[in-house]
A and B are shown apart, each in its own frame.
With several copies, the nearest count.
Chain A
Amino acid sequence: APAAAEEVTIPIIVKDTTSFYWQIVLAGARAAGKDLGVNVPELGAQSEADINGQITILENAVAGKPAAVVIAPTEFKALGKPIDEAAKSVPIIGIDSAADSKAFTSFLTTDNVEGGRVAARGLAEAVKAKTGKAAGDVALITALPGVGSLDQRAKGFKEELAKYPELKLVADKVADGQATTGLNITTDLLTANPNLVGVFASNLIMAQGAGQAIAENKVADKVALIGFDNDDKLVGFLKDGTIAALVVQDPYRMGYDGVKTALAASKKEKVEAFVDTGANLITKANMDEAKNSALLNPKVK
């Protein structure tokens, strides 16, 4: 057992350190570390699709003999075994997404399938608001293939969309993770489908590209765009009406509570086994409500 005098270390491993969403998670974790006097190394792979990279980081983190590990598994099945293996030496707290392991001590996640459903409902409403009825062609843009949470969102979105028979999914596009590609795809979709009334861009970067395309083509009054997650840019789009609504999770809390729960688990205290941190639909109308405002303006620095 680690000596009491030594600083307790609880690494947090996110999927990909290069996106703002994960920076909010890390900010929450950092704040918790400060509040609780815990050393919180901030780790993560270079891309959400880099499964081997995340396994490697998990292995390295466990080799450092931490008190516990907080991890956002990048892929459901692939991280199962490594987490089982790691849990033999330290308590593991899962955040954001699930993994195929029963070894988690606790779990704080968004239900991404539900997030997709929320987006579909939001899209239907926004289309109705713009055109008078929930009918017409819609499109889905996914940032990268092979990313578990994005696939789950697509799944939930399509399931829920089926409940609106007059909304027709005419394009289901997968990009390469670049905002410019999202922009080009959206532009081309607008050209190819003159009757397009809605687009769901299922993550931050795609929403940035798609939002830019809506603005560039000046079709905000005809086409409803739903994004996922948030940063300044998207909040700006939300304000000026380019984006109809954002599905927003609570990453700050995942980070903060993740570390807090991990510390408790390392002390063998009893912790909640499962927490759904929720996916909220935020529109221009409700963006100033206190809770939403807090979600849109996380304390990153």
Chain B
Amino acid sequence: MSTVDAASAKASQARRNYSFLFALTLLGLLVLLWAVLAIATPNFMSDKNISNLLRQGSMIAILAVGQTFVIITAGIDLSVGAVVGFTTVIIALLINAGVPVWLSILITLLVGLGIGLFHGFGITKMGLPPFIITLATLTSLRGIGLLITNGSTISIDNDDFTAFATKDFLGIPSLFWMVILVAVPAYIFLNHTRWGRYLFAVGSNPESARLSGVRVNGVIYLAYALSSVFAAFVGVLLATRIGIGNATQAEGWELQAIASTVIGGSSLFGAVGSVHGPLIGAFILATINNGANLLNVNSFWQRIITGGLIIVIVYFDQLRRRGR
């Protein structure tokens, strides 16, 4: 092997480790935040608080993973917050109508699927930009949800269902188990199946993907369907947590999900993204909020600090990436 080859082998080695290192770095930042908070507040490391933290980050984390599929295809899904709010209404109606919980959940997820397929249709068949079609759905879905409920709130009268969010298994909150339930298959799907590869290929260059025999439209349908189904799943979880169906809930969660995804290293131009990235991104955001509450930071300062920390974290991450 010539020197060039040896050197470049080393570079590729570095690059191979890189994805892992990068995750480590973000994870490192998260752990750093935890360490600081553990020292600064007496209660941060309490079982109770860690449970709270895991519960608080869970829903955005799941949304962010769904959003990542879309962002990898160079798309965007602004509707996820509205889907969450809308599906709390759907599941509340179903459960109150006496439909068994498992069936209610299934139907709610199918409603999510329908919304995602509609997005796929709008993008592939009507030629609409993802930003526009999902913004339109965001607007309309909130309207439909409000219309169904006449602007009010539906109390879910099934205590087993609403108790779920507060439960723990093996000391870990049920909501966090749901993250694991979603993330593990999502990881396998994204990194170890051909459809995962196709998501990247479509995000990178749809024409080349198409000429290589990839069903580009199918891949787009798939990405948006996954995002919406994940959002519907979060709607189910939110309904168990707040015990009501209300179409205005989860406002702005789309931005939080997108932010988690981007903090987690995805590029809005597509073809870059992972499953662990958005998870870490979501828990970084949750930790900032949790920590600020525990530190009794004034809520206005809390916003200022959140903005500042987002900059600092992504900046360090960029540095690390460039310096690799």
CB distance from B176 to the nearest CB of A (A): 14
Q: A216: which of B166, B246, B295, B299 is its contact (CB, 8 Å)?
A: B166
Residues 234-262 of B contacting A (Cβ, < 8 Å):
238, 241-244, 246-252
Chain A positions within 8 Å of B46 at CB level: 63, 191
Q: Chain A: how many interface residues by the 8 Å CB criterion? A: 72
Residues 1-45 of A contacting B (Cβ, < 8 Å):
11, 17-20, 22-23, 41-44
Q: Are B294 and A146 in contact (CB under 8 A)?
A: no
Q: Are B244 and A178 in contact (CB under 8 A)?
A: no
A59-B52, A216-B166 given as contacts; is B241 within 8 A of A64 (CB)? no
CA distance A189 to B238 in the complex (A): 20
Chain B positions within 8 Å of A179 at CB level: 242, 244, 246, 249
CB distance from A64 to the nearest CB of B (A): 5
Best-surrounded residue of B151, B152, B298 (most CB of chain A within 10 A): B151
Q: Chain B: how many interface residues by the 8 Å CB criterion? A: 43
Nearest B residue (CB) for A232: B155
Q: Are A300 and B152 in contact (CB under 8 A)?
A: yes
Residues 198-252 of A contacting B (Cβ, < 8 Å):
204, 208-209, 212, 215-216, 231-233, 236
CA distance A19 to B56 in the complex (A): 24
CA distance A56 to B60 in the complex (A): 13
Chain B positions within 8 Å of A209 at CB level: 242
Q: Are A60 and B153 in contact (CB under 8 A)?
A: no
CA distance A24 to B294 in the complex (A): 23
Residues 160-176 of B contacting A (Cβ, < 8 Å):
162-163, 165-166
Q: Are A180 and B241 in contact (CB under 8 A)?
A: yes
Q: Are B153 and A208 in contact (CB under 8 A)?
A: yes
Q: Are B300 and A17 in contact (CB under 8 A)?
A: yes
CA distance A170 to B246 in the complex (A): 26
Q: A146: which of B248, B252, B295, B298 is its contact (CB, 8 Å)?
A: B248
Q: B249: which of A11, A23, A51 is its contact (CB, 8 Å)?
A: A51
Q: Are B290 and A184 in contact (CB under 8 A)?
A: yes
Q: Does A136 contact B (CB under 8 A)?
A: no
CA distance A180 to B56 in the complex (A): 9
Q: Does A50 contact B (CB under 8 A)?
A: yes
Chain B positions within 8 Å of A63 at CB level: 43, 46, 48-49, 52, 294
Which of these binds chain B: A72-80, A108-116, A286-294?
Answer: A72-80
Chain A positions within 8 Å of B52 at CB level: 56, 59-60, 63, 184, 187-188, 191
Q: Are B152 and A20 in contact (CB under 8 A)?
A: yes
Q: Are B153 and A183 in contact (CB under 8 A)?
A: no
Q: Are B151 and A85 in contact (CB under 8 A)?
A: no
Chain A positions within 8 Å of B56 at CB level: 56, 59, 184, 187
Q: Does A148 contact B (CB under 8 A)?
A: yes
Beyond known contacts A178-B249, A192-B293, A215-B243: 19 more, CB 8 A cutoff: A46-B299, A51-B244, A51-B249, A52-B238, A56-B52, A56-B56, A60-B290, A64-B296, A145-B146, A174-B299, A187-B52, A189-B293, A191-B46, A191-B294, A192-B296, A212-B241, A231-B152, A233-B153, A233-B243
Residues of B at under 8 Å CB distance from A?
41, 43, 46, 48-49, 52, 55-56, 59, 142, 146, 150-155, 162-163, 165-166, 238, 241-244, 246-252, 289-290, 293-296, 298-300, 303
Residues of A at under 8 Å CB distance from B?
11, 17-20, 22-23, 41-44, 46-47, 49-52, 55-57, 59-65, 75-78, 80-81, 85, 100, 144-146, 148, 151, 170-180, 183-185, 187-189, 191-192, 194, 204, 208-209, 212, 215-216, 231-233, 236, 300-301
